[in-house]
Amino acid sequence: MFYLPGFDPRDPETYWGLFRREARLTASRRGAEIAIGDPVRSADGLELAWTVQSRGVTTRYVLLRWEDIVRARFPQPDWARLRGVPVLLWRLWRSGYASGLRREGWRFSTVIFGVHAIYLALVLLSLTLAACLAGLAPAALQPWPLLAVPPLAYGILGVLVRATRGKPLYVPHLVDDTAFTHAYAAGRAPEVAPRLDAFAARIRAAEGEADEVVVVGHSSSSFLGIEVLDRVLTRDPGFGTRGTPVSFVSIGSVIPWLGLDRAAQGFRAALLRFGRARQVGWIDVRAPWDWLSIHGQNPLAACDLTPPDPGRPAVLGVMINDLITGTDVRRRQWNLFQMHFQLLMASQSVHGFDYLDLMTGPEPVHVLASMGRESDLTHVPPRQPSL
């Protein structure tokens, strides 16, 4: 099991802690023991792996690391953000990208463009406050205090941006994530390609070592995971056909966020190739209540591409009540990042979708992918817990 996290600067051990905590909840609710081993970093530092034993199945769960790349781009220096936001917004508006994103994911686009509007409002507020402070200087010094407005506004902006870094706004995180996504689309993130090549080599080497290979791409890694698997298939067209089933699970997907950018020609070509690669199963786990994902239609069609295989991906729809109770929904619904991670957490329902159960249970993921090749998986009968 290979897990690619989203645009997250946190140490990978954070995910191990989340996995261990949620596995305990899944085990207690579903009557199945789940034993989680200690995490081990690889010698080259590119992965953090641990073992999971549950219901007679041993799973090696491998987190493929790129948080160092995220840390280099988040948080951006204030000057880089101040310069880059207007340029990027102008490019996206001029190309028609903004209207396409609103069409395919109006909630997602509301969050992304709303956060950028908040950032620009903070810029204007900083200039206003700086001008007001300059105006308080004695009349005899005027107009010289006006020279202090730009540096003073820059300092105020830095304070305001840091104040909005956490919930509920997450302004710098979402602004910098957007900057990374479109820089990657335009080929201005050269540090990513070597890392994806390294991930591809690890995934390719796992074939034949296990009963099945599953690659999970969460959030931004919904598109990075496709890029990785496309690299594997380009180097080894027979991958997934030699007796070891291979599946890709996109969860909290934001594929059109990148794919609608016309600058992302390399990714769009990879997405088309992956759409034809029937030897690798594909499940798209969709949550219409998650404002930080795009879940309207087939990801290729959402990127204005003609899907080579209408049955790809298999769609697994998850309603929020399948995961948490009404009380918790009301308490968490405006914490966008917690809701975005909810699909990775234990279900409060005994029979609803449960990521931990999917990843550690005895039922092969590739069977679920093949069941839904030409149909929606929303109404697949729930698994029964086995001891």
Which of 164, 180, 195 delimits the end of a domain?
164
Dihedral sign for Cα atoms in the order 186, 188, 189, 194 = positive
Amino acid letter for position 269 = A
**Same domain for 90 and 55:** no
List, in sequence order, every residue forming a beta bridge with 133; answer none if it has no partner: none
What the block records as the tokens of 385 is: 């817990």
**pTM, two decimal places:** 0.93
**Same domain for 304 and 320:** yes
**Same domain for 350 and 274:** yes
Q: State the Cα–Cα distance between residues 223 and 254, nearest whole angstrom.
A: 7
**Same domain for 48 and 105:** no
Buried b (16+ CB within 10 A) or exposed e, 283-312: bbbbbebbbbbbbbebbbebbebebeeeeb
Strands, E assignment, 82-221: 213-218
Dihedral sign for Cα atoms in the order 138, 139, 141, 144 = positive
- Domain limits for position 156: 76-164
Cβ neighbours of residue 147 closer than 8 Å, sequence gap 6 or more: none
**First-last CA distance in the chain:** 22
**Same domain for 93 and 45:** no
| 71, HSE (Cβ side, Cα atoms, 13 Å) | 8
The tens digit of pLDDT for each residue in 167-219 reads 888 999 999 999 999 999 999 999 999 999 999 999 999 998 999 999 999 99
**Same domain for 221 and 83:** no
Which of 164, 188, 205 delimits the end of a domain?
164
**Same domain for 297 and 149:** no
> Per the domain annotation, does 181 fall within a domain?
no
**Same domain for 352 and 229:** yes
**Same domain for 156 and 236:** no
Q: How many CB atoms lie within 10 A of CB 281?
A: 27
> Per the domain annotation, does 196 fall within a domain?
no
Q: State the Cα–Cα distance between residues 315 and 253, nearest whole angstrom.
A: 12
Full pLDDT tens readout for the chain, 387 residues: 999 999 999 999 999 999 999 999 999 998 888 999 999 999 999 999 999 999 999 999 999 999 999 999 999 999 999 999 999 999 999 999 999 999 999 999 999 999 999 999 999 999 999 999 988 887 777 777 788 999 999 999 999 999 999 888 899 999 999 999 999 999 999 999 999 999 999 999 999 899 999 999 999 999 999 999 999 999 999 999 999 999 999 999 999 999 999 999 999 999 999 999 999 999 999 999 999 999 888 999 999 999 998 889 999 999 988 898 878 888 887 888 999 999 999 998 888 899 999 998 888 999 988 875 544 555 444 444 332
Which of 164, 181, 196 delimits the end of a domain?
164
**Same domain for 249 and 363:** yes
**Same domain for 94 and 58:** no
**Same domain for 109 and 58:** no
Domain count, the chain: 2
> Per the domain annotation, does 192 fall within a domain?
no
The tens digit of pLDDT for each residue in 5-50 reads 999 999 999 999 999 999 999 999 988 889 999 999 999 999 999 9
